[in-house]
Amino acid sequence: MLINPQQRKTNNLFYNNICFIVCMFCVLCLLTALYFEDAKISENKVTLKKEYVYGPIEINDKSQVYRIKAHFSGTNSSNYISGEVLNKDKDTLYEFGKDLWQEHGYDDEGEWTESDRNMVVHLTFSEKGTYYIQLNNEDDNSNTEISISKQRGSYIVHLQVGTICFLLVLLFWVFINGTWVKEKLTVLNDKLEEMSDDDD
């Protein structure tokens, strides 16, 4: 069955408009993710010594997200930060952790510096109950600052939905505009070959 060229053009315009609307939805999801990433209800900052216990965290009908940020300020040293989520009896439910470090020195090319100073962990409490967050320092020093904040929501779902929808609509857009994409790629390839010939 032959499709009228004008009808094909109308169909492509309709589908491109749909793609544009979905892209706007993806942008909205990403902006919402950015909002929830930084939207805090409350925040508690401490300098981590050997051990720190945060809580109790009371979860009733609504799930709650907590964000833990750690920053290591030591020089030419490292510090392993370990964390545990505890229940009301202070029994461990699960663990997390990261090695934070900083190194610098000199070689033939001059001074160099390498580091991984930050840890960010998002904890979602979805089941009703009482919880605690326990953080432990590998060394008894004051080189690590801890921030525990109660978030307004989780950014992860919005980020995942926005990313997946964008990838799907991109594939669909390439599919319905395949001829136009091929023409543009051909023109680009010809220009690159001309530039290569000019360099020779």
pLDDT 10s digit of each residue in the chain, 200 long?
Answer: 444 555 555 667 777 888 888 888 888 888 887 776 676 676 788 888 888 999 899 998 788 889 899 999 888 888 899 999 999 999 999 999 999 999 988 888 888 889 999 999 989 898 899 999 999 987 766 688 999 988 776 666 777 888 888 899 888 888 877 777 777 777 777 777 777 666 55
Q: Does residue 20 form part of some domain?
A: no
| CATH number of the domain encompassing residue 138 | 2.60.120.340
Domain containing 126: what range?
41-153
Residue 136: C-alpha distances to residues 56, 70, 133, 139, 144 (Å): 17, 11, 10, 9, 11
Sequence-distant (6+) residues with CB within 8 A of 167 are: none
For residue 61, tell me if it sits in a domain: yes
Number of domains in the chain: 1
Whether 30 maps to a domain, the answer reads no
| Spacing of C-alpha 36 from chain mean position | 12
